Amino acid sequence: MTDELTVEELVVISDERFGAGGFLEVRRVRLRNRRGDGSLSREYISDSVARDSQDAVVVAVYAHVGTAIQVLVRDGLRPALVFGRDASRAPLPEPPPALFLTELVAGVIERADVGEAGLRARAAAEVLEEAGFVVAPDAISILGPGLLASPGCFVEKFYFACVEVDPSAQRPLAGDGSPMEEGARTRWLPLEDAIASCRSGEISDLKTELGLRRLQDQLFPRR
């Protein structure tokens, strides 16, 4: 590759944020590429979504029921999809967004959740809040490194974890007090059925399919 085609540095011209006071902000950086030969590209814009909590943890809550593995999924409100996704613009047929979306337990990692211990503690807190199970942080298994979901505009990584529970020990869902938690419910699915629902599109959440597949790999290692 010739020097004029290599990029050695990103030169920032301006760095702004829009939407202060909400859960998310848009960060707009105007920049140029400094090439290997010292020349600069034309100015361009890089927009990204910013929030105080950078990353999130996704927890596959599971139970042994007889000889089967059951996984807990959660149906919760997702207004952003209801108001923002236009099914008529999708390249393949899909139904209009429903009020509720099926997902695994998940939550943002707070600034105080530092390191692996903080990740386990946050996972345990989310399991109680969203699934109704009291679990110790030490019972949480981390399922490998975090993954970027959409690096073109999101810096968030999903970190995957799992924990085994006794279904009979479930408490009422505590939630976080937000109206977005209203109407949420949980249900159990056989692990294979849950993965099949992701393949069919019945479950359409990316992090949920990845979490289920990492759980499957954890419980049934490939040789």
Distance CA 56, CA 146 (A): 9
Distance CA 55, CA 154 (A): 10
What average pLDDT does the chain have? 94
pLDDT tens digits for 149-202?
A: 999 999 999 999 999 999 999 999 887 788 988 999 999 999 999 999 999 999
Q: What is the residue type of 131? A: A
Distance CA 19, CA 67 (A): 50
pLDDT on residue 22: 82
Please give the DSSP secondary-structure letter assigned to residue 23. Answer: S
Q: Is the pLDDT of residue 116 over 90?
A: yes
pLDDT tens digits for 69-111?
A: 999 999 999 999 999 999 999 999 999 999 999 999 999 999 8
Q: What are the residues whose beta carbons fall under 8 Å from the beta carbon of 222, sequence distance 6 or more?
A: none
Percentage of the chain lying above the pLDDT 70 cut: 98
Q: Is the pLDDT of residue 2 over 70?
A: no
List C-alpha distances in Å: 207 to 136, 161, 214: 23, 11, 10
CATH class, domain 56-219, is: alpha beta
Domains of the chain by residue range: 3-50, 56-219
Beta-bridged to residue 40, according to DSSP, are: 34
